[in-house]
Amino acid sequence: MKSAETIRTEESDVVTGAARANLARAALLFVVTVTLFLQTANHGFISYDDPGYLTGNSVVRSGLNAASLVWAFQSVTMSNWHPVAWLSHLLDVQLFGMVPAGHHLMSVVLHAVSAVLLYLLLERLTARPWRSLIVAALFAWHPLHVESVAWVAERKDVLSGLFFHSTLLLYVSYTKRPTAARYLAALAVFALGLLTKPMLVTVPVIILILDAWPLGRLVVNRQALSPATTVSRLLAEKIPFLLLSVASSAVTIYAQHHGGSMAELRTVPVDLRVANALVSCLGYLRQAFWPHDLAVLYPLPVSIAPAHAVGAAVLLCAITVGALWCLRSFPYLAAGWLWYLVMLLPVIGLIQVGAQSMADRYTYLPMTGVFIGVVWGVSDLLKRFSWGGRAAAPLAGMVLAVLGWATWLQVGVWADSLTLYRHTLEVTTGNYLIMNNYGAALNDAGRTEEAVQVLERAIEVEPSDAASYYNLGRVRQVAYHDSKTAASLYQRAIELRPGYLDAHINLGGVLNELGRFAEARQVLERALGFADANRADLRFNLAVSQVNLADTGAALRELEVIRSLDPALAQQLQEFMASRRIGMAQPK
């Protein structure tokens, strides 16, 4: 008969062995994830959103300092208030400067760590290490998630994923051993997640889902719920999380409206929003099981056939009813499906932000619910067959290997702007926004004739897109020195978007070139009233017009402002004023 000490020793050995096995699985997950995304170290920045977040953002480029720290908490640049995301970019600049490799590899490491946290979360919740590992690997290695990792501007995705999984881990720790410190730790990390990306507003519902399965704190079946007192306590427990979510939602709506990214009902009517939400919800599922033709932007259609919307609604309802019907026998199906639907809700397009119908990055956290349902469901199904146990590992290995290879290939698509836009135009149709970006990138690469063709095609597809006129004006002004045509293109861009700051700046510049100094001054002074208008290039062009109108005093005042914004440009203006030669800032 074994002594008590022997039994304790054996139990300790078992715990130690399990901990080592968990560590080994986590290390494998981390290493493979980093390897799949390692090629991003050779990638550059791209011209889609990276300029706003990093390469063209003078505050972020200055790195960590007192002024940039204050700015991070005050700014709603890029139509969002996410100070922690800004702090992450500022830290990268401080560590790596403007070398793209450092920024990319930081995102890769954050993604890999987030995958490890997801594995540890699921393993602690379910005590099913291999199932948990497969779900975490699907999260880390799925091609749909390449966009979130390989795109520097989407740092908020991988960072919010890190905070999301950390919040759930801390919450689970609290449920295992309830203390105020553990609860407050979960709440604090959740707050950091909201300050990184407001998509985490659905966390209060997600932790309530986890209460039902697999924590079992909220017992749900076809007959009854937990006693009312238990339900009330669990709901009350979520109130602080909910209050943070409500506050974050209010600030986000303000920031997106203030930034002009929120579509109006007259441009995207309610029926189109609802139809697109239904179709996109199924579209994401299709891409989860058959990821192909992935693009940085899927254009929002002008209309969706009612039959498609109704069919999508019927199928979504059928899946939901089926998952709830199996609640007693297979609770993970309902938990996983509700996880997917709830987390997708803020970005499904009912409040339309941007011109996309769907976006790969929106699946970064919601798709985990689908992965949970599929992995647990297939595992239980295989157990019904005598050969199922032997087939499970090879089947999982084959699926993960195929997805890993697809991810490696998809990462290559993000090598640079030209590669990304060319691929996107190959797999989408009528994508005038990417045509515009592609034309601008071709121009920046010196391929001006191709740029003109692409930009003219973008205008044909969407004659009301101000950015295409603006970028075509840049080509005409810089490459062809055709100031007259450039001026008309800039004016057209301003007619379509009256608050288009860059178009005003460049129009003022070409009007100076054409000797129309009074008109230039009028355009540029109007631009001074726009948001974020305190820019050196704007004030330089304004000073040039003032000098040529013999208003030297006003020009000297602009010179002092420019000195604080861009000393090199101030020196150029000073030399111009000394020689009284007409000049201008290079258009952006």
Residue 510 pLDDT? 97
pLDDT at 583 over 50: no
SS3 356: strand
Q: What is the mean predicted confidence (pLDDT) over 246-257?
A: 86
Instruction: Give residue 268's pLDDT.
Output: 79
For 178, 193, 203, the CA distances from 184, given in Å and listed in that order, are 11, 14, 15
Determine the 3-state secondary structure of 208 from DSSP. helix
What sign for the dihedral angle of Cα 580, 582, 586, 587? positive
The tens digit of pLDDT for each residue in 306-346 reads: 999 999 999 999 999 999 999 989 999 999 999 999 999 99
Comparing 4-18, 184-198, 266-280, which segment has the lowest mean pLDDT? 4-18
pLDDT grade for 375, boundaries at 50, 70 and 90: very high
Least confident of 3-7, 404-408, 518-522, 540-544: 3-7
pLDDT of residue 533: 81
Average pLDDT over residues 190-207: 97
Note the pLDDT of residue 35: 98
Identify the sign of the CA torsion 131, 134, 140, 146.
negative
Dist CA 296 CA 260 (whole Å): 21
Mapping DSSP to helix (H, G, I), strand (E, B) and coil, where does residue 262 land?
strand
Cα–Cα dist 542/529, whole Å: 13
- DSSP 8-state code for residue 353: B
Residue 585 in this model has a pLDDT that exceeds 50: no
Contacts 24+ apart (CB under 8 A), 337-341: 337/369, 337/370, 337/373, 338/205, 338/209, 338/369, 339/206, 339/209, 339/366, 339/368, 339/369, 339/372, 340/366, 340/367, 340/369, 340/370, 341/281, 341/366, 341/369
Question: Could you give the domains of the chain?
Answer: 4-413 (no CATH), 418-579 (1.25.40.10)
The span from the CA of 331 to the CA of 335, in Å, is 6
Q: Average of pLDDT values for 372-401?
A: 93
8 A C-beta contact, residue 587 and residue 483 = no
Stretch among 30-34, 287-291, 380-384, 424-428 having the lowest mean pLDDT: 380-384
For residue 498, how many other CB atoms are within 10 A of its CB? 12
pLDDT of amino acid 365: 98
The mean pLDDT of 376-403, rounded to a whole number, is 92
Distance (Å, whole) CA 538 – CA 558: 10
Written as six digits, the tokens of 61 are 């480029």
The whole-angstrom separation of Cα 257 and Cα 242 is 22
| Cα 505 off chain centre by | 29
Q: Pick from 430, 444, 505, 442: which is nearest to 470 by CA?
A: 505
Q: In this predicted structure, what is the pLDDT of residue 349? A: 83
pTM over 0.85: yes
Question: Residue 431: left if φ>0, alpha if ψ -120 to 50, beta else—which one?
Answer: beta
* Cβ atoms of 226 and 233 closer than 8 Å: no
Mean pLDDT over the full length of the chain:
91
The one-letter amino acid code at 164 reads F
Q: What is the pLDDT of residue 584?
A: 44
b/e code 75-89 from CB counts within 10 Å (16+ = b): bbbbbbbbbbbbbbb
* pLDDT given for residue 261 in this prediction: 54
Q: Tell which wins on pLDDT, 426 or 2.
A: 426
Distance CA 126, CA 122 (A): 6
Query: 274 pLDDT exceeds 60?
Result: yes
How many Å apart are CA 404 and CA 542, to the nearest integer? 54
The whole-number pLDDT of residue 222 equals 47
**Tokens coding 564:** 């604080």
